[in-house]
Structure 1
Amino acid sequence: MTSLRVVEICAGAGGQALGLELAGFDHALAVELDPKAAETLKLNRPDWEVRVGDVADPEVWDPTKFRDIDLLAGGVPCPPFSIAGKQLGANDERDLFAWAVELCGIMRPRALMLENVRGLSAPRFSAYRQHVLDRLNELGYVADWRLLQASDFDVPQLRPRFVLVALSKDDAPYFSWPEATPVQRTVGEELVDLMASNGWEHAEHWASRADRIAPTIVGGSKKHGGADLGPTRAKRAWAEMGVDGLGVADEPPPAGTPKGYNPKLTVEMVARLQGWDEKKWLFAGRKTSKYRQVGNAFPPPVAKAIGRQIVAALNHEGEPRLQTETATHNEVYRVLRGADAPLTTDQIYERINGALTREEIKIQLKHLTRDFDMHEGESASGEATYRLGTFRAFIGQDDHIRHEYLTQMRSKVS
């Protein structure tokens, strides 16, 4: 069996990279914008080729030099889809999801794996998802989305992630999503040894209070303050487990710390909750930088589980499965995309055979107008008509607003 090679974009501090390595992939290249995260990659894997800079900048790397790679993978920026943000999608200058899909037309990888936040699975982005699936189909890939919980893959943390996997039509019949194996360990059980490592006599008592899995760890961004464990709701969940979420500690509680004390977590503790062995994977930079690298990462065990399934598919292991028809995420998009003339709501209703109510059609039209140019007109009978225009996302355009944004905001982009 020959070695399988991966190019990873937006590699961060290596959560996905480590998981894919454990699954059986060798890194041909890793590209990362943040210098400290790139330094972390080099620190742990000095033999890897790591490029630092904007992944869409041709001066940073040349995708044509990695044609026919086995896997293209990445954790492209989350803010365009996060429910904590404005959910601008294709209109967000940071969005690289559609651009990454277009790379498949240039690099022709056998497989693609992209992960993002749960927000991308929301109805708001149904047309965006439909565009991605249809575009990958045009490029010769069979693609599917799946919402995965980190806690189903031996990570003691909720952390839902929305994952896209696409494979060539020859390899796709051999792919199946990994089976869930829910974690059995609580935060207390996972961290008690680290909590006691500085002499705290009451670590076991603390662990008995931390009797559940962690809420989603949030790394934050360079634009928003220092390191802490997330928004108010998450901090309340941490407090119920005896953890102070208002910051990150430099070290565990020392001897003599009171029994009822609510400690802060250290970076090493957060790394373990993300699925890293904190002794084997080191992080470059100061505390806040380290925490952001850890908190924004894709948990290695989840990446490993998906990676193993991709390896099995690329090696054609097992019996091929019958390919079921890909789910339709936005019926209205599909109809308008195939129409040769503007359509009214009633005409859309007829073409989808009543699969949606007219009110649902209007909702999907609203979603479409947020990510696509929509040309509205009027029929001869006075009814409103709709014709689908250009997808607004960045896919490599030289005149896209993303270039100006990155030039002005480079120091704050993470």
Structure 2
Amino acid sequence: MDLDVTARLKGTRTRYIVHEFFTNTFHYPLASIILELLLHDALSYLYEIDPYVIISAAVIQAMFYGSWLHRGLNRQFVGNLIAPAIYTLFEVSLEGMEFFESPHHIAYWGFAIAIGITQQVRDGTANEELHDAMIMLESVVRTCIFLALYMILEVLKDGYSSYGEFMASASHQFVVMVIPLLGMVFGFANINTERYHNVLMRTAQQLREYSEWFLGTDLLSKAVNNPEVLSLKRHERSMVFTDIRGFTRWSETRSPEEVVAVMNAYYEAAEPVWVKYQAIKVKLTADEIMLVFSSPEAAAEAAIAMLEAVRPLLEIHGLGVGTGIHTGPVVEGVMGGNARKSYDLLGDSVNTAKRLCDNAELNEILASTDMYYVLGSDYLFGNQREIEAKGKAEPVKVRPLFRGLISNDVV
């Protein structure tokens, strides 16, 4: 399922359908209906089924074509032929082949084919110049819809016998010259609009990616719809802290590039774990990984899975990790000054989880007694012991966590 932020950037299926209807599909039917109203008695024409058939055909095309565009399917040529096909089939069933004696019925197919070709080539080419040329050509073709139907109206009403006779009128010359030029102007405007839109979309995608790095996917999605989720509030959270034992000493004899390569591999090995168990917050600080979860079960399963994921990688370099897990109240939300803020959480529960991590032995997961009581007998713990934790007046009781639930699907 797409994230809400992704859907907001891309647009909904309904928006695509509505956009397709008003920017493409309905243009010719609208001009054709106006032509019919001017050629016949307007009131009697509105009582006929014809205008409602052509509008319904346009709606059906917009629904199919708009849905295809929303799904990223390149069916522009076929998409533009849906409405004229439906309209033609219905009218031929009523009028027979006399339907094709009306020039504007033939023109419907001509413009649908022309627009379909320009759109198919436009979206199917990687050549920027050809892409822009197709936008320009489509705009000219689209404005010529009204020119063509205007000429048909004049010929049918006033009975011009030739194109030369039609063009003898200065007003006709004006219309024939101005409308295609307006199409070119609209084409330039559409090219600039599309380029600007593409820049905005690329920028929005980059900002989304950067935001996900700091907020996480789930939190960003929620914050887009409801900014209040970022306000400071008290929550019950479960924290996992993991850091590499002996990392500072190990890195002293390695090049910065080698250290960075190992760190990135370490993070990449751990990432599927925090994604699977839906960490609310992920904080990477040098060799330390901090994960925050909404449930103790998710935190415990993630701690076990992460140890299994990073241990083979680190053992190659003679390294290992220590892990601490704790659950309790925190204050969570956006904090900072006026110019710089970050989403974080504070409280003694966070400090406790960090101290447990500091005191964990190599490849050991230390759980607080709060975590032990919450998780119950479904998890395998070792014997209780006490540790001296920095900043704590009394020794902290802990238990090593050896095994989680038989099912690893807790989220």
TM-score range, shorter chain: under 0.3
- Per residue, is there more helix in 1 or in 2? 2
- Structure ID, larger Rg: 2
TM-score, structure 2 as length reference: 0.23
Higher RCO by CA contacts (8 Å cutoff, separation 6 or greater): 1
